[in-house]
């Protein structure tokens, strides 16, 4: 199982659609299968039932040679590999605004991205983690890279796989320089 995860707005769904792989959209599964325990009205989202979702995904994994799961919770489901998509916080804010996110939700997600929340969780929970910056790249470019990583993990020789792991190792993206710019803009 390979997870494509990241803060909302980093490009997960677009990249999965462009990748040419059958990806399991966890947000759709949560909503359609009823794998939630309630609604967070303050955040405007469902509260995922991770235990039921994990069981569902494990059963799906048995049906597939390769299962690619996509969503900001994907790294919580014990994948063998997590690919964490990242985006410059300024770029991310623009993407979320275009998607119609309310200002508070944009602020929350931009802060999570600046603080590497999903990356830190993935590093703690997953054995193999890639960190890919989507800023300034087309969906097709990122999809091609993600496909290269997946192919290397599934079928690649160790030299190529190790080179990709080194190039996209956790910690290779750093948004701390944007923190002061963002804080100044909020004043």
Instruction: Please state the pTM of the whole predicted model.
Output: 0.92
**Long-range Cβ contact pairs of 178-183 (< 8 A, separation 24 or more):** 178/88, 178/89, 178/90, 178/114, 179/114, 181/90, 182/89, 182/90, 182/110, 182/114
Which whole number is the average pLDDT over 124-138?
96
User: What single DSSP character describes residue 22?
Assistant: -
Span 142-185, pLDDT tens digits = 999 999 999 999 988 888 899 999 999 999 998 877 665 544 55
Residue 175: per-residue pLDDT: 82
Residue 118: per-residue pLDDT: 97
Residue 163: per-residue pLDDT: 95
Span 51-101, pLDDT tens digits = 999 999 999 999 988 999 999 999 999 999 999 999 999 999 999 999 999
DSSP, collapsed to helix, strand or coil, labels residue 77 as helix
Q: Which residues contact 43 (CB under 8 A, 6 or more apart)?
A: 105, 108
Going by their DSSP bridges, the two strands 2-6 and 23-25 should be labelled as unpaired
For the chain, which domains are there?
A: 2-186 (3.40.50.300)
Which whole number is the average pLDDT over 27-33?
95
Rounded CA separation 182/104 (Å): 14
Q: Which of 87, 82, 167, 163 is nearest to 120 (CA)?
A: 82
């Amino acid at each position: 199982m390979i997870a494509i995860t990241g803060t909302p707005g980093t490009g997960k769904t677009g990249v999965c659609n462009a990748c040419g792989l059958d990806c399991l959209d966890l947000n759709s599964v949560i909503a359609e299968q009823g794998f939630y325990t309630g609604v967070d009205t303050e955040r405007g989202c469902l509260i995922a039932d991770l235990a039921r979702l994990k069981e569902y995904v494990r059963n799906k994994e048995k049906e597939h040679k390769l299962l690619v799961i996509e969503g900001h919770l994907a790294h919580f489901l014990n994948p063998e590999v997590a690919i964490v998509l990242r985006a410059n916080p300024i770029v991310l804010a623009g993407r979320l605004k275009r998607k119609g996110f309310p200002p508070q939700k944009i602020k929350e997600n931009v802060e999570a991205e600046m603080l590497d929340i999903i990356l830190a969780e993935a590093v703690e929970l997953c054995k193999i983690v890639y960190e890919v910056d989507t800023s300034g790249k087309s969906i097709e470019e990122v999809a091609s890279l993600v496909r290269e990583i997946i192919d290397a993990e599934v079928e690649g020789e160790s030299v190529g796989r190790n080179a990709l792991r080194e190039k996209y190792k956790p910690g290779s993206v750093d948004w701390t320089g944007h923190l002061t710019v963002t804080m100044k803009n909020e004043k």
